Amino acid sequence: MIVIADDITGAAEMAGIALEAGLTVRLACGTPAAATDQATVIATDTRSMSETEAADEVRRLAADLPAGIRLFKKTDSALRGHVVAELKALMQATGYRRAVYLPANPSKGRIIRDGVYYIDGTPIADTAFSYDPEFPARTSSLRERFPDAAIRGIIMPDAESADDIRHILSTYDNGHTLFAGAADLFSLAIDYWQLAVSPNSQQPTAKSQQPKTTLILCGSTQSRPLDLGIPVAPMPREVYDGQQGADYWFSRLPASPTHSLILTIPFTHRTGKAVAIHLRTVMAEMARRLVGQHRPDSLIIEGGATAWATLGALGWHDFQTERQVAPGVVQMSATNGTLVTLKPGSYPWGSLFQSFSE
């Protein structure tokens, strides 16, 4: 099975779900990896690209997929991304005659009723997603958000429960339908397709030990403070405002006997795509320098854009999925042995830091 995701934390979330189902899971960043594992998840950065670039990227990836392999397209559960363009490109490249797009996540209070997307009972256009800098939710209607979906052969059904999703799978899964959506659809699809093999023996039964050297990148401006006994290095105001770069921040890092650090962004007064690019670029450069200097055995990254920029700066593209700590919080081994943990900005950490407080 191959999964193509439009951002890296979404890819990690899919990898964690497949791991929980007992599959061996490889995660590759932007490269069409050989499908040697039971599941291969390909992370892209198409959500940050233009619509044309996004379509070209998924078309390129699809061209190298093994014939006949099962494909799932991971999309955002808040209607963000170039959904129709990417699905159209995948359908053209793979021969799928239609697609079912189901971003609903009933397990997280995200449902579709009468074509309207709700989060905990509130239409998505009335939530904080209406302020998203790149894909603001200006409407809660899927037909209004994706007006050309139907003519492209993309079906957008309602779903308010797991049973609804199971019914959708049984109704549309005829071998010629590409399924695209969020975590609930993927999890239930694995069961429906009978891909789960056994309870995952790779999940550790013993409590994880605190690593000797940890670098934590809190790339979201909405990150909550972490009290782990590790020195915190907030991004200086001069760097945040674009007056200085990574050199300025690096020269002001606090001393750390273990070389462990937490990098944070303590300001929120600037918005826009250019600001977001600046912040993740500086954070990635800081990570590149610190990893090169101290070689931490654990790298923890919060925020998808930060994760993509950081792993790209490090030149790390291939990972073996090791453990799902909590939904969306996934640990992977890089080829050099570093344990990499990824978490979407809006998800809780789960029990990841339990060993730090003991």
Task: Give per-residue pLDDT as tens, 49-84.
Answer: 999 999 999 999 998 888 888 999 999 999 999 999
pLDDT in tens, 42-55: 999 999 899 999 99
Max Cα–Cα distance, the chain, nearest Å: 61
Determine the average pLDDT of the residues in 340-356: 86
Count of C-beta atoms within a 10 Å radius of residue 77: 22
Q: Is the model's pLDDT at 37 over the cut of 80? A: no
**294, 255 in Cβ contact below 8 A?**
no
Cβ atoms of 96 and 73 within 8 Å: the answer is no
pTM of this structure: 0.88
177-211 burial: b if 16+ Cβ within 10 Å, else e: bbbbbbbbbbbbbbebeebbeeebeeeeeeebebb
What residue ranges define each of the domains in the chain, with the CATH number in brackets? 2-192 (3.40.50.10840), 214-357 (3.40.980.20)
DSSP per position, 4-53 = EESSHHHHHHHHHHHHHTT--EEEEESS-----SSEEEEE--GGGS-HHH
Give the pLDDT score at 205.
38
DSSP state of 255: P
